[in-house]
Amino acid sequence: MKSAIRRATPDDHARVAEIAAEGDSTDSDPAYLSFVAEAGHLLCSEIDGQVVAFGGVVPVGEIAMVTDLFVARVARGSGVGGRLLQALLHGQRRSMTFSSKSDAALAMYRRAGMEPQGRLLYLSGMAIGGSQELVEAEWQHGRIDLVRYFAARGALVTSDSVATPGSGHLRVHRLVGEDAVGTCERLLTAFDAGNTVDICVPEAHPLAGWLAKAGFAETDHDMLCCSAGVDLPPDLAALHPGLA
Ligand SMILES: CC(C)(COP(=O)(O)OP(=O)(O)OC[C@H]1O[C@@H](n2cnc3c(N)ncnc32)[C@H](O)[C@@H]1OP(=O)(O)O)[C@@H](O)C(=O)NCCC(=O)NCCS
């Protein structure tokens, strides 16, 4: 049996999406995978010439953010994921990820020195409506490459928020700033009541409690896993679970 880890190319995207789907992720479309590859690294593992796993990492300042790590069902539990994680983090001192709840994922991240720090809540609720349309504005925070990526995919950007409106639906990708509750309220009132809203919020952030009172329900959660000394910035109120 011959195994290898190499950079993924666009020719791998279809197989990568299949492997992600086996891990219940439907987010690994070509635009997303290309963004990860360009901003950081997208690697895949082969056994006897067949791609059996993929993983990505992007820089967030000096921190290596593991965006994805999925192993095809047939190849799980034999060290493929652990070796791929080592390759993704090669030469990196500080790392983080939002891990799935699976025992294997948490064990794999612990082995790499990334300990669980808190939950990232997937919250779903309704817009409130009643105010004027949201006016686009220049983003006032860091990660401009990430904000441009979402904007290129149709997101509406304001100074503190990035969200994609769809038909009857709003997905909030990023919300940063000291007045996160005010920013979120402006978003929710700018869209008609009846639109569903999905947003991922660190459990420890005050916005999580405010959204719970506004009727948002937890549909899932991931676990923030970090190497020593790494934490989320306190002004990061909502984020994308893969890209942070
Ligand atoms: C999580 C995942 C990437 C791990 O890859 P893998 O190749 O199966 O894992 P490995 O064989 O490298 O093992 C990694 C660690 O998990 C442990 N492990 C493996 N399978 C396990 C299981 N079923 N239960 C508990 N621990 C398990 C291993 O013992 C190892 O820990 P150790 O180094 O302390 O011994 C893979 O199982 C997977 O894709 N799962 C589904 C999708 C998913 O949850 N992805 C993670 C997204 S964050």
Q: Domain with 160 in it: what CATH number?
A: 3.40.630
Q: Check whether 74 has a pLDDT greater than 90.
A: yes
Under 8 Å between Cβ of 177 and 183: yes
Tell me which residue has its CA closest to atom 36 in ligand 1: 71
Q: Check whether 133 has a pLDDT greater than 90.
A: no
**Domain end (from 56, 76, 93):** 93
Distance 176 CA to ligand 1 centre (A): 33
Tell me which residue has its CA closest to atom 42 in ligand 1: 23
Q: Which atom of ligand 1 is nearest to the CA of 99?
A: 48
What pLDDT is recorded for position 244? 96
Q: 3-class SS at 71? A: strand
Per DSSP (E only), the strands in the chain are 3-7, 41-47, 50-60, 63-71, 95-99, 115-126, 156-157, 161-166, 169-176, 196-202, 217-226, 236-238
What pLDDT is recorded for position 107? 98
What pLDDT is recorded for position 196? 98
Residues whose beta carbon lies within 6 Å of some atom of ligand 1: 23, 69-71, 76-82, 99-100, 102-105, 107-108, 111
Q: What is the count of structural domains for the chain?
A: 2
Distance 70 CA to ligand 1 centre (A): 9
What pLDDT is recorded for position 223? 98
- Taking only the tens place, the pLDDT of each residue in 184-229 is 999 999 999 999 999 999 999 999 999 999 999 999 999 999 999 9
Q: Tell whether 32 and 79 lie within a shared domain.
A: yes
Mean pLDDT for 128-142 is 93
Q: Check whether 132 has a pLDDT greater than 90.
A: no
Q: Tell whether 69 and 153 lie within a shared domain.
A: no
Q: Tell whether 44 and 125 lie within a shared domain.
A: no
Under 8 Å between Cβ of 106 and 97: no
Q: Tell whether 140 and 74 lie within a shared domain.
A: no
Tell me which residue has its CA closest to atom 10 in ligand 1: 79
Rounded CA gap, 13 and 34, in Å?
9
Distance 69 CA to ligand 1 centre (A): 10
Q: Between β-strands 169-176 and 196-202, what pairing exists: parallel, antiparallel or unpaired?
A: parallel
In a domain, 63, yes or no: yes
Q: Tell whether 141 and 234 lie within a shared domain.
A: yes
Closest C-alpha to 55, from 11, 15, 88, 13: 88
* Overall pTM > 0.85: yes
Mutation pick for ligand 1 pocket among 108, 114, 122 (CB with most ligand atoms within 8 Å): 108
Q: Tell whether 83 and 155 lie within a shared domain.
A: no
Q: Tell whether 230 and 126 lie within a shared domain.
A: yes
Q: Tell whether 164 and 205 lie within a shared domain.
A: yes
Distance 77 CA to ligand 1 centre (A): 6
Rounded CA gap, 179 and 133, in Å?
19
Tell me which amino acid residue 103 is.
D
In a domain, 107, yes or no: no
Q: Tell whether 73 and 135 lie within a shared domain.
A: no
Tell me which residue has its CA closest to atom 45 in ligand 1: 70
In a domain, 224, yes or no: yes
How confident is residue 45, by pLDDT bands cut at 50, 70 and 90? very high
Distances (CA, A) of 153 to 48, 196, 213: 36, 19, 31
How confident is residue 243, by pLDDT bands cut at 50, 70 and 90? very high
Q: Tell whether 13 and 80 lie within a shared domain.
A: yes
Mutation pick for ligand 1 pocket among 27, 45, 71 (CB with most ligand atoms within 8 Å): 71
Q: Tell whether 76 and 157 lie within a shared domain.
A: no
Q: Tell whether 88 and 135 lie within a shared domain.
A: no
Q: Which domain holds residue 74?
A: 3-93
Mean pLDDT for 114-142 is 95
In a domain, 100, yes or no: no
Under 8 Å between Cβ of 54 and 43: yes
Q: Check whether 96 has a pLDDT greater than 90.
A: yes
Tell me which residue has its CA closest to atom 27 in ligand 1: 104
For the chain, percent helix, then strand, then coil, each to nearest 5?
30, 35, 35
Distances (CA, A) of 45 to 25, 32, 50, 154, 208: 18, 19, 8, 32, 37
CATH code (residue 36): 3.40.630.30
Token digits of residue 135:
């006016």
Cα angle value 113/59/198 (rounded, 5°)? 90
